[in-house]
Amino acid sequence: MAAVKKSVSVKDVARLAGVSEQTVSRTVHDSPSVRPETKERVRAAMRELGYRPNFAGRSLRRGKFKTVGVAMFNITGTGNLDRMEGFAAAADKHGYAITLTKVDGHPYTLEGASSRMSALPVDGMVVIMNRMPADFGTFEPLPGMQTVLVTMLEHPLCSTVDNDQFDCSRQVVEYLLGQGHKTVHFISCPERSLSGMQREEGWRETLRAHGVEPPRLVRGDWTAQSGYAAGQALADDPTCTAIYASNDAMAYGCIRGLESRGKRVPQDVSVVGVDDSLGDIVPDRRLTTVRFDNKRVGMWAVDKIAGAEGVASGVEHMLIPGMLVEGDTVRDVR
């Protein structure tokens, strides 16, 4: 009658079924070398006792955890949900689980994330690198801990994967130039954002590659309010017929700011954003923007670890291009 507190082990099952522990283990793994009727007896015993294999015993024996750790410096970031969706999907596919850890700390190092992870039951780790860690250049992954960084930067010892921010800007700028615009103005973001700076660099270099000297950029802070201010400022610039904002919120803010100064989008000015995050939110506009496949980024990272299965697969650098989505905020001026 007393509640059974102790957990049930193979030993208990073996005793009840009248077989050896080994036979129980073999039944759990559905080995063909156990007679069907024996299996059934063992299974009945497992059901009766409520047996569930113990993860610790198993991992200790096997030396594998079938788990990938994910270290994030800040959890609330654009695209993180989609990335997690990707982590979870890929993990699922390989029979792995995902362990999440928030890493904070000043300074903010890969070494810190790594040592934190190493105390957890994981076979490898993914670091979402929103900001630049202090030790990026010198970091060495722990032996036996396959490490994938989510960043556009390359690393000599760790595989990396991310959206191709540079190519994103190239697509946008070339698209706008292709529509006949003479130049493309840019609304940037805070300088601490890695991906934002890469977008900025892509914008600048693509313009130069087409023989256009980049105009002075307007610095924003990711919010629509800053985009609004930028739009108002650019409304007075007669050379400004096309604006590229580093995210959709600023792009939308910019449109409203232009409108508040009597400019119409796209008749007078074309505007493009990035992230495709406003589809369900803005009812009366279809913003031209770039859609990233963050889920695919997440899957790639986990595939790299869970798919390797101990085989020391080489370091790879993967960039996943975004897709330009045409809305109604760009006008062909040719």
Partner DNA sequence: TTGCACAATGGCAACGTTAACATTTGGTCG
Partner DNA sequence: CGACCAAATGTTAACGTTGCCATTGTGCAA
Binding-site ranges for DNA (CB under 7 A): 6-7, 9-11, 18-26, 28-29, 32-35, 38, 53-54, 56-58, 60-63
Q: Which does 105 bind (CB under 5 to 8 A by kind): DNA, a copy of itself, none?
A: none
Q: Which does 280 bind (CB under 5 to 8 A by kind): DNA, a copy of itself, none?
A: a copy of itself
Give the nearer residue to a copy of itself in terms of CB position, either 259 or 268: 259
Q: Which does 165 bind (CB under 5 to 8 A by kind): DNA, a copy of itself, none?
A: none
Q: Which does 101 bind (CB under 5 to 8 A by kind): a copy of itself, DNA, none?
A: a copy of itself
Q: How many residues bind a copy of itself (CB under 8 A)?
A: 62
Residues constituting the chain: 334
The CB-of-323 to a copy of itself minimum distance in angstroms stands at 18
Contact between 308 and a copy of itself (CB under 8 A)? no
Q: How many CB atoms lie within 10 A of CB 27?
A: 23
Q: What kind and span of H or E run contains 172?
A: helix 165-178
Question: Which position has the token pair 């079924």?
Answer: 17
Distances (CA, A) of 154 to 80, 109, 306, 319: 21, 16, 21, 10
Q: Which does 18 bind (CB under 5 to 8 A by kind): a copy of itself, DNA, none?
A: DNA
The verdict on whether omega for the bond into residue 190 sits within 30 degrees of 0, i.e. cis, is no
Q: Which does 180 bind (CB under 5 to 8 A by kind): a copy of itself, DNA, none?
A: none
For a copy of itself, the binding residues in 214-273 under the rule CB under 8 A are 222-225, 227-228, 248-249, 252-253, 256-257, 260
CA angle 141, 142, 147 (to 5 degrees): 45
- Tokens, residue 317: 């650098």
Q: What is the DSSP string of 278-308?
A: -TTT-SS---BEEE--HHHHHHHHHHHHHTT
For a copy of itself, the binding residues in 57-116 under the rule CB under 8 A are 57, 59-60, 63, 65, 67, 70, 72, 75-76, 80-82, 84-85, 87-89, 92, 97-102
- Helices 248-260, 224-235: axis angle to 10 degrees equals 40
**DSSP bridge pairs for 219:** 188
Measure the CA–CA gap between 66 and 300, rounded to whole angstroms.
Answer: 17
The CB-of-318 to DNA minimum distance in angstroms stands at 33
Q: What is the DSSP letter of 66?
A: -
- Tokens, residue 286: 């279809």
The CB-of-166 to DNA minimum distance in angstroms stands at 44
Q: What kind and span of H or E run contains 329?
A: none
Binding site for a copy of itself (CB under 8 A): 3-5, 7, 50, 52-57, 59-60, 63, 65, 67, 70, 72, 75-76, 80-82, 84-85, 87-89, 92, 97-102, 118-121, 142-144, 222-225, 227-228, 248-249, 252-253, 256-257, 260, 278-284
